[in-house]
Amino acid sequence: VLFAVADEITAVLDVIRGLVAQARRHQAAQLLRTGIDHAAVRRLSAAAD
């Protein structure tokens, strides 16, 4: 019985780890996109000057 419970806990933890990793990747991608947007805006405003 203990082994079955341990397996289920391990499975749940794996799912949580997967979701956390996915969230981190998504956040990193958003930050990257935001950074690129900011860089483009800066370049455009510099060109306007």
pLDDT digits (tens, 9 = 90+) for 4-45: 899 999 999 999 999 999 999 999 999 999 998 999 999 989
Look at residue 2 and tell me whether its pLDDT is greater than 90: no
- At residue 33, the 3 state secondary structure works out as helix
pTM of the full structure: 0.59
For residues 39 and 35, give the distance between their C-alpha atoms in angstroms, rounded to a whole number.
Answer: 6
- Cα distances (Å, whole numbers) of residue 41 to 22, 24, 31, 32, 47: 29, 26, 15, 14, 10
pLDDT band at 49 (very low <50, low <70, confident <90, very high): confident
For residues 49 and 38, give the distance between their C-alpha atoms in angstroms, rounded to a whole number.
Answer: 17
Name the CA dihedral angle for 35, 40, 46, 47, rounded to a multiple of 10 degrees: 170
